[in-house]
Amino acid sequence: MQHPFLARLDQGPLLADGAMGTQLFARGIRSDQCLDAINLTQADLVQQIHREYIAAGAELIETNTFGANRFRLAAFGLEDRVGEINRQGARIAREARDIMGESVFIAGAIGPSGALFQPLGPVTYSEVADAVQEQVEALAEKGVDVLIFETFTDLNELTIAVDAAQKVCDLPIIAQMSFDDNRRTASGHDVVQVVEALERLDVAVMGVNCGIGPQQALDLVGQFNHITETLISAMPNAGYPVRVAGRISYIATPAYFASFARGALASGARLIGGCCGTTPDHVKAMRDVVHAGEPSRPVVVVSPRPVPTAAPAPGDQPPPTRLARKLAKREFVISVELDPPRGSNPTKALKGAALLRDAGADLINIGDNVMAKVRMSSLGLALLIQQHVGLETLIHFTPRDRNLMAVQSDLLGAHALGIRHILAVTGDQLRSSTNPPVTAVWDVDAIGLIGILKRMNQGSDYAGTSIGRPTQFLIGCAVGPNAADLDHELDRLQRKLDAGADFVMTQPLFSMEQLERFLDRVGSLPVPLILGIVPLESYRQAELLHHEVPGFSVPDDVRERMRLSGDHGAEEGLRMADEFVEQARTLVSGVYIMTSYGRYDAAIALTRKLAALRRTEEEAS
């Protein structure tokens, strides 16, 4: 399965962001401060810079972690906070992407160690390899899409760093070097030697960054393109730096970088961006060249399709939804969860929904401020998906954030807009660290919410007052088969069924043993059961879910398989999910696939397999 970043590069040139340090200095950060530590002290500032680059058109943004290795951080007494700073850098970039709602790749930025190597200094290349792995593991843990090694001047250090990274993760790697005005690196290597070394490591992209400026970069891109089939990158400085009024400035204008972008594309570059001195204005100028004729962000690019559950005209009785018909016949249902964006731009979610529709999904599940974090309303995204993608949706709905009046108002509005499927959930607990502080409502819990929905389906509100024509909600409830107090969980499940739930969705399970143990306890359910599935991404994720996330229990044998999978965790996780669903298909009415880190590729692959199997069975019958 091709990595999404590589698949995107196959489609054409991709635009990266510009300088982070330049933007931090412009916002008042002093040159003697640790720029990487700003992740911990002024995260909002770093995130704002990411967001400005995304708005300018960047399709790849780099984490603020260029110098976040133990050697450079030691100068600030921060060498024991490598993991924390890198994880925070990745998290900030991901949050910026979520808020902007764009399909942007997150590149974990790794610069040279800054150390002096033996025999001239005390540091060995082996120690540098250890430092790189420390940094890479932290970045990968927080879900970066790709690693970018940049501004290396010592080819030996770069190859050792790339090799070290490849031993601990399987992310695509961009490897870039800086050259002097003689077109050689500081370690004396020319383009031919750089290409030979990086080809042996099979990096995804190789190229040049920083250096002297755009003209030198164009010359070097031509040399790279002449001797390698590997994709090429070019991210130069904005020319020579000059000191103006006590501050460092760069003279290359955005218009000049637009010219550079045209030349870089003509010379064979596939990944284009900027380094020191470049700004969002430079990126926007390059965007107008790289993606000439395309509309500016934000924009929804999914073609509109008819709404499958459009709101009926007054007096009409709408037909049952496709999901209702399938569950009534106990046909196998494929549902996938998408998280709403943290901002107002739904582009990424709509693109994901369209891909899942084309793969064969029946339904998109949409969370309601999951983990008690502010996101676009599930209702708003559901309506957009139904209007623009033509796929039915199920919204998670929690009374945590709404009083009794708002609960009923929102439900009536959802029904009027054609939203028919509701998963009634109590909602995650609010964290004490929420800033600004917010309070939970919980006039009712999930059981009470199901009762409200049932009354609306009978034509009245919570107080028994008529609402006119009854609603036609299909009501779902959740159950945690791995709950610490399973007796209490099953008691609540029975009360949810008694209140009127039409189907049940489980929290994630990972093995037939878990499913069979739950079915033995719960007995024969009177309503359809939809099985929750999480295709695991890595051993680290399996350990995290098992040990740190309530309601999750990843069996020992599953975690061991993930451990043994090494760098191929995503493939092994998908393989195990596929095996589990194949075994469980006759015991459940469908699956509810949950995505990790906002990535849809595993869900799409599993959906496509299940849809093909379902078609084969339908044709046979």
Dihedral sign (CA 540, 60, 270, 295)? positive
Distances (CA, A) of 56 to 287, 353, 437: 8, 25, 33
Decide if 472 contacts 457 (C-beta within 8 A). yes
Q: What's the CATH number where 445 sits?
A: 3.20.20.220
* Same domain membership, residue 393 and residue 262: no
pLDDT (average), residues 221-235: 96
Question: What integer pLDDT is reported at residue 343 of this predicted model?
Answer: 83
* Same domain membership, residue 400 and residue 258: no
Q: What is the pLDDT of residues 556-567, one digit of tens each?
A: 999 999 999 988
- Going by pLDDT thresholds of 50, 70 and 90, the confidence category of residue 395 is very high
Q: What is the pLDDT of residues 52-62, one digit of tens each?
A: 999 999 999 99
- What is the three-class DSSP state of 71? helix
Query: Is residue 298 reached through a cis peptide bond, with omega within 30 degrees of 0 on the bond before it?
Result: yes
Give me the percent of the chain exceeding a pLDDT of 90. Answer: 63
Q: What is the mean pLDDT of the chain?
A: 88
Residue 380 reports pLDDT greater than 70? yes
> Which of 290, 319, 341 finishes a domain?
290
pLDDT (average), residues 67-73: 96
Decide if 238 contacts 257 (C-beta within 8 A). yes
Give 138's contacts (C-beta < 8 A, 6+ positions apart).
82, 83, 84, 85, 86, 87, 90
CB < 8 Å & 24+ apart, contacts of 305-310 = 305/387, 305/388, 305/389, 305/390, 306/390, 307/386, 307/387, 307/390, 307/418, 308/386, 308/390, 308/391, 308/392, 309/386, 309/392, 309/418, 309/419, 309/420, 310/418
451 domain-assigned: yes
- What is the three-class DSSP state of 244? strand
Number of domains in the chain: 2
Residue 245 reports pLDDT greater than 70? no
322 domain-assigned: no
Give 480's contacts (C-beta < 8 A, 6+ positions apart).
489, 506, 507, 551
Residue 445 reports pLDDT greater than 80? yes
φ/ψ (deg, to 5) at 306: -60, 145
Question: What integer pLDDT is reported at residue 311 of this predicted model?
Answer: 41
pLDDT (average), residues 359-377: 83
- HSE-up of residue 449 (Cα within 13 Å, Cβ side): 30
- Going by pLDDT thresholds of 50, 70 and 90, the confidence category of residue 126 is very high
Q: What is the pLDDT of residues 447-495, one digit of tens each?
A: 999 999 999 999 998 888 888 889 999 999 999 998 888 899 999 999 9
* Same domain membership, residue 150 and residue 97: yes
Lowest-confidence pick of 232-246, 258-272, 362-376: 232-246
**Cα Rg of the chain, angstroms:** 27
* Same domain membership, residue 342 and residue 267: no
pLDDT (average), residues 133-153: 95
pLDDT (average), residues 242-249: 57
Q: What's the CATH number where 183 sits?
A: 3.20.20.330
Q: What is the dihedral of CA 501, 504, 505, 510, to 10 degrees?
A: 160
Decide if 477 contacts 451 (C-beta within 8 A). no
Residue 542 reports pLDDT greater than 50? yes
pTM: 0.68
Q: What is the pLDDT of residues 181-194, one digit of tens each?
A: 788 898 899 999 99
> Which of 290, 323, 352 finishes a domain?
290
Decide if 391 contacts 364 (C-beta within 8 A). yes
- Going by pLDDT thresholds of 50, 70 and 90, the confidence category of residue 307 is very low
* Same domain membership, residue 257 and residue 364: no
Q: Which spans in 183-273 are helix H?
A: 191-201, 214-227, 254-267
Q: Which domain holds residue 502?
A: 331-620
Residue 316 reports pLDDT greater than 60? no
Residue 555 reports pLDDT greater than 90? yes
* Same domain membership, residue 89 and residue 191: yes
* Same domain membership, residue 539 and residue 407: yes
Q: What is the pLDDT of residues 504-524, one digit of tens each?
A: 999 999 999 999 999 999 988
574 domain-assigned: yes
Estimate the share of the chain in helix, then strand, then coil, as percent rounded to the nearest 5.
Answer: 45, 15, 40
Distance (Å, whole) CA 269 – CA 399:
52
* Same domain membership, residue 548 and residue 494: yes
Question: What integer pLDDT is reported at residue 246 of this predicted model?
Answer: 52
* Same domain membership, residue 560 and residue 452: yes
* Same domain membership, residue 344 and residue 277: no
Distance (Å, whole) CA 456 – CA 459:
5
308 domain-assigned: no
pLDDT (average), residues 572-589: 92
pLDDT (average), residues 34-57: 94
Question: What integer pLDDT is reported at residue 306 of this predicted model?
Answer: 37
* Same domain membership, residue 378 and residue 427: yes
Residue 293 reports pLDDT greater than 80? no
